[in-house]
C-alpha cells in the first residue's frame, strides 16, 4: 500500500510559484518514487521545466521518506540549497508537503495531488484499497470493501446500475457487489449478504482524525 499521487498541471504549478524566483525542489524516495511522480527522474525533469520558465533552481533533494521524522534532519543537512529559495516545490504526497512546511519557514508548494491509498495493479494503473472509514465491514463482504470499491459505497447490495458485472460510471470499473456476491456464493456464505447493514457511523473516525490508543502488552507496564 502506498500513497498515490499525480502531477498537477504545469500551469497550476507556475501560477502557485508566481512572484517566486528561487525555487528548491524536494522529491520523495518512497511512494512518490514508486508512483514515478517525485523520484530522481521526475525531480530532474521538473528542474528543467522550471528553468525554462525562468526560475532559478537553488537545489534539488530527494529525501528518503518525505512524511517521516527523518525529513527535518535531511533538510537541515542540506540547508544551503534552501537558503536562496523563495519557495520550496514539494514533489511528495500532501503528508510530505505538511512535514516540509512544518520544518521550513518557507512557502512549500505542492507539485502533486494526493489521490488515495492504494496499490499498483499494472504499470501506471493504481487502485484504491481502503478509505480508512474506521468501521470495517470486510467480515461480511468476502474481503472486498464496498465502502471503497462501490462508487456509491453501498452496504446492502448492488444498485440498479450494475451492468454485466461492471459499474454504471464506466471506465471499466467492476461492480463491487457483483464481485462480493460471487465470492460469498463460492464460499457458501451468502447469509452474510442477506444481513441488514444499518446506516454507517460517519463519526467513527473523529474529524480531524486524532485518537489516543491505549498501550497493550509489555508496553502498557
Partner 1 sequence: MSTAFKQALENGKFVVTSEIGPPKGVNLDPMKHHIELLKDRVDALNVTDNQSSVMRFPSLGGTLNVKELGAEPILQMTCRDRNRLALQADLLFAYSRGVRNVLCLTGDAVPVGDHKQAKAVFDLESVQLLHTVRHLETGKDLGGNDLDGPVEFCAGAIVTPEADPLEPQLLKFEKKIQAGAEFFQTQAIYDLNNFRAFMDFARQFEVKILAGVVLLVSARMARYMNANVPGIFVPDELIAELEAAPKGEALKTGIRIAGRMIRELREEKICDGVHIMAIGKEEVVPDILAAAGM
Would you tell me which residues interact with partner 1 (CB under 8 A)? 151-165, 168-169, 177-178, 180-181, 185, 190, 193-194, 196-200, 202
d(C-alpha 78, C-alpha 35), whole Å: 25
End-to-end CA distance of the chain: 32
Question: Taking the complex as a whole, how short is the minimal distance between the CB of residue 103 and partner 1, in angstroms?
Answer: 33
Question: Taking the complex as a whole, how short is the minimal distance between the CB of residue 194 and partner 1, in angstroms?
Answer: 6
Q: Are 165 and 175 in contact (CB under 8 A)?
A: yes
Pick 19 or 160: Cβ nearer partner 1: 160
Task: Give counts: helices (H), strands (E), the chain.
Answer: 9, 7
Pick 107 or 153: Cβ nearer partner 1: 153
Question: Taking the complex as a whole, how short is the minimal distance between the CB of residue 181 and partner 1, in angstroms?
Answer: 4
Pick 64 or 202: Cβ nearer partner 1: 202
Pick 35 or 176: Cβ nearer partner 1: 176
Question: Taking the complex as a whole, how short is the minimal distance between the CB of residue 152 and partner 1, in angstroms?
Answer: 5
Buried b (16+ CB within 10 A) or exposed e, 104-115: bebebbbbbebe
Amino acid at each position: 500500500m502506498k500513497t498515490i499521487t499525480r502531477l498537477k498541471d504545469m500551469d497550476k504549478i507556475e501560477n502557485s510559484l508566481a512572484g517566486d524566483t528561487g525555487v528548491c525542489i524536494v522529491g520523495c524516495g518512497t511512494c512518490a518514487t514508486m508512483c514515478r511522480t517525485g523520484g530522481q527522474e521526475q525531480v530532474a525533469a521538473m528542474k528543467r521545466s522550471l528553468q525554462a520558465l525562468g526560475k532559478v533552481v537553488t537545489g534539488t533533494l530527494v529525501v528518503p521518506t518525505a512524511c517521516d521524522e527523518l525529513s527535518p534532519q535531511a533538510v537541515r543537512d542540506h540547508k544551503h540549497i534552501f537558503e536562496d529559495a523563495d519557495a520550496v516545490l514539494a514533489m511528495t504526497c500532501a503528508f510530505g508537503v505538511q512535514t516540509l512546511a512544518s520544518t521550513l519557514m518557507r512557502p512549500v508548494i505542492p507539485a502533486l495531488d494526493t489521490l488515495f491509498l492504494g496499490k499498483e495493479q499494472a504499470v501506471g494503473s493504481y487502485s484504491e484499497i481502503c478509505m480508512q472509514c474506521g468501521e470495517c465491514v470486510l467480515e461480511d463482504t468476502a474481503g472486498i470493501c464496498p465502502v471503497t470499491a462501490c462508487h456509491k459505497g453501498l452496504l446492502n447490495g448492488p444498485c440498479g446500475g450494475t451492468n454485466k458485472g461492471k459499474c454504471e460510471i464506466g471506465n471499466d470499473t467492476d461492480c463491487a457487489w457483483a464481485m462480493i456476491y460471487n465470492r460469498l456464493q463460492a464460499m457458501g456464505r451468502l447469509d452474510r449478504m442477506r444481513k441488514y447493514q444499518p446506516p454507517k457511523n460517519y463519526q467513527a473516525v473523529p474529524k480531524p482524525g486524532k485518537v489516543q490508543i491505549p498501550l497493550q502488552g509489555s508496553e502498557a507496564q
